[in-house]
Amino acid sequence: MTTLQPGHLVMVDIEGKALSAETATFLREHHIRAVCLFRKNLGTENEVRQLVSDLGEVLGPQALIGIDQEGGSVARATFLPQAPAAMALGAIDDTAQAEAAAESIGAAVARGLRGLGINWNFAPVLDVNNNPANPVIAERSFGADPRRVGRLAGAWMRGSLAEGVACCVKHFPGHGDTHVDSHHALPTVDKSLAELEALELIPFRALKDEAPALMTAHIVYPQLDAEHPATLSRRVLTGLLRDAIGYRGVVISDALMMKAIFDRYGHARGAVLTLAAGADMALAQGRPEDQRAAIEAVGTALRDGRLDPAAMQVSRLRLDALARRFPAGAVPYAEITRADDDTLMRAAWARGLCTFGRATPPGTDTPLRVITQDRVDTDGVSEAGLAADGVAALFAGHTDVELLRVADLPNLDPATLPQDGRQTVLASNHRKRYGAAMIGWQPDLHLSLWNPFQVADIAAPAVVTWGYADGALAALRAWLEGRAPANGVAPVALAPHA
């Protein structure tokens, strides 16, 4: 066995859509074996395939090339068939049918990734979304019932594993009950272990023997460890996850560049603390100098005893086993298979379409005023939202539509809208919840195109798509034109309005 190198335990990201000589040298010199790709790295499909191939040559046969391809708004490779958000699958009312759909979707997502050579997907989400104010999970969760979340996520994962792509369930021990996004601040969930066992931990326990990898949460659980967030907590990652639950797969930290960790600990200290806590790999992307600092800090900690070399060797072996089981390298993605996968995903989006408050389609000749946000930029977690032109396309089959574009939809003042007899359609194409200014406003129809919990903010009949991928929009347009039903049932509590 080769000597353990600090870089074996650190995943980084890279700049650009092609592998530069400078980056290749950095990866080789530091013995990096794991790289996470983001939207900034994804050019055309052929360019991505070439990038992944070049990375494989540099990283070696034990390469782990990761990506976030959950479906819905978190799907970096947008040129692949567009998978439904987890909550769209959760909205398929019959659980057996929902499981079958989830397994098929997980397999289809994996086929697309294998066509690029990617072998590690940071999905599915096991978070139980029981907090309507959650700013970062919402439709990324399969729902509010922890047992059903485990069943659907398990089916999705089994589909992926069967097609040769490793999954990484997330975010342990649960990110569903936060009202703070750990990308921007450090959340706290003040629950006892008994409370966590009754909800958040149920899916993780259910899949502990199947999930090949698991990602941590940057959240403080003060009744478990008042000092450290879960990512850096030995009580959580070793005491709870390894010892009490018995998880034996790979544990990787969530991104250490997120403000919940970076602003308090920095890359270097964070990387050492997460490995000491029980993680096998530190996700330390960011500026090259931060990545280098993390790698060097791990090396120093191995030498001075803060990291146990024997324990780190076990971590390295877990990572080696993951790479052997799911080797990188492109597998042809046949056009007919790709077309079938696209059809499968569109059908699943359509099955999840939900209505609330006796929503009915407006007549195609009814004068409408459609209000939407002009553009919705990416927040770094989700892809860019549907722009106003995309909203307008939903009404291509209607004959009299006035489109009102606003810069910031949550700050809309309904009192400024004309009162001219047109039916008002609010198309919520952004993620943020609405505030008190919307209380009492009753548009004729509300289209929730992203965050389903916005339904509780607007007193109007509503349609929920769970996302804005092509399949979701096609299903919504068919409903708006009276050509198709909306038979989904929400897997979370959404307040219906009459």
Residue positions annotated with a catalytic role: 183, 254
Q: How many CB atoms lie within 10 A of CB 94?
A: 11
Supply the DSSP string of 129-197, one letter for each residue: ---TT-SS-GGGS--S-HHHHHHHHHHHHHHHHHTT-EE-EEEET--TT-SS-TTTS--B----HHHHH
Whole-number CA gyration radius for the chain:
23
The H-assigned helical ranges of 394-498 are 470-480
Both tokens of residue 358? 């006796």
In this structure, what are the phi and psi dihedrals at residue 63, rounded to the nearest 5 degrees?
A: -65, 140
Q: Is 478 helix (H, G, I), strand (E, B) or coil?
A: helix
Residue with tokens 């097609």: 163
CA–CA distances in Å: residue 137 to residues 126, 176, 268, 328, 347: 10, 6, 27, 29, 23
Token pair 């639950």: residue? 245
CA distance 287 to 283: 13
Q: Which residues is 250 bridged to in the sheet?
A: 213
Burial of 496 (0-12, 13-18, 19+ CB in 10 A): middle
Q: How far apart are CA 90 and CA 141, in angstroms?
A: 8
**Token pair in block for residue 18:** 């092609």
Instruction: Find the helix or strand (DSSP H, E) in which 113 lies.
Output: helix 95-114
